[in-house]
A and B are shown apart, each in its own frame.
Chain A
Amino acid sequence: MSGRDQVLAKVRAALQTAERGAGPDGPRPVPAPGRRTRPDAWDADELADRFAERVDDYRATVVRTGPDGVGAAVAAALADLDPGTVAAPAGLPAAWRPDDALDGSVLRTAELPAVSAVVTACRLAIAETGTIVLDHADDQGPRRLTLVPDRHVCVVRTEQIVDDVDDAFAAMSPADHGPPGPGTPPLTFVSGPSATSDIELQRVEGVHGPRTLVVIVVGPG
């Protein structure tokens, strides 16, 4: 009997035993999935304010600007690195791209420790928790690109901000990419810089992931 058959046989036997042992009324019914009654949604301005406030709570840097200010905001976020090496994924809008940025989409793991900062877009952002979500598309690059360099500058357009984690999941169902297969993108939820509370539960920012996170929130101009 294979391990698979053994495990499944034990699961099925256990479910039957529990059913029999649950008394005359049978097992307690489980409510069907349904959307909870949700608090009122925020409007676009409230969403952006809430998002910015909560990113800031994580001790990340938040910069708010209009569509024409992104290039300058990116440059300011990198200014103190000079002469650091900056990378950006191939699909990043040209206006957001630092002039001398390496093509981050093709950098190999071994090359990344030499990169000081990376500039990317994101898939969406969550106001309730101050989270940016990456699906590692062409404007964000592979997972390693936003992991190894010590500074991550991420540009968020206000129309990408959703209320809460439930809305984020509703907006990013893998089913949108067709049936499960190699085309299903990985997702990374980032809430502030890397941190640990392992010593006396005191939060320390900056362990293995980027120690500095700069989020540029781009309003509708």
Chain B
Amino acid sequence: MKALIRAAFLLFSVLFAGVSMAQHEGHDHGSDDASHQATEAVEAAEHAAHDGHATEKFNPGEMIMGHVTDEHGWHLWGHTSIPLPIIIYNTERGLSLFSSAHFDHGHKTYAGYFLHEGKILATDAPDGTDVHHATENEALTAATWDVSITKNVLGMLVSIALMLIIFLSVAAGYRKRGVGAPKGLQSFIEPIILFVRDDVAKANIGPKYERFMPFLLTVFFFILINNLMGLIPIFPFGANVSGSISVTFALAAITFVLTLIHGNRHYWGHIIAMPGVPKPVLLILTPVEILGVFLRPAILMIRLFANITAGHIIVLSFFALIFIFGEINAGLGWGVSVFSLAFTIFMSMLELLVAFIQAFVFTFLSAMYLGAAIEEPHHH
């Protein structure tokens, strides 16, 4: 177990480095005007090539980010994608509800909106205008609230349905058989539930662990199932739900709010004024500890996001290699594909492990923070 954990940690650091670089590249994209104009020129050229049915240059960055980030509509292959409902509330225009197919893969305007790099922008251009001729109405964009059912939202709904199917059947099993020998799915899930109870909740929270069990179990299985679903590349799986920073933000925020609510006098006493520490040192320590209260959930958020997204990026990079070499020479592409496939299989095996470890780490650390918040003082 020790060796396993150590290996896993090594992996985390490697993966973390990878994703921070990828993020950096993504941010640089629109930062300065020159590069922005250059990108626009490239886009226009690509568009022209596309219209003329000329061969498109393979763009690995675009392919990878397209798979890893959220989108309006679910891309399947080539130019085939499943349209998803667009739900927009605009404080000026009111509610709009239509299918993402109207955007024609982001090429056309509809109902006064268009897609630009995955974001919905408002415009005054009439329906069906080419996006390259549509200008953004910035005031209206600022008044726009996009609550669409996106790829990630749909993926999350599927995972919730899956969780309901699993756990309602497990619950039915207990209702029927009581605490006797479990059967079927129940016997697979029971050890995991006991693992979360004994090694996560009891170990970190102590005798009052029971009231946090619903939260810890839900978080654990939600992350685990979404991690595993993200590894299956076929619709309706494969959305990068647990690798979406919005999702991990929400999960970490729940842990954060719970520690704030349940934090007792002892917990806050140790943060505001650590007993046994001289006053001048407290001048530095107290701000640091208050900062720590916010930093801990922030790190919880980043860790899950970075590890899962990095896993997706690595697998997609191996696939991108095939096409990069294939553009040089078709035979070379075929040759590389053998190695790419082998590495992808290896990485997928590793990701299976990471899927479990990350769910465990998130739940374990949440339990640890909750345990620290409700800990009663020891009387010496």
Q: Please say whether chains A and B are actual partners in one complex.
A: no
Seen from chain B, the residues whose Cβ lies within 8 Å of a Cβ on chain A are none
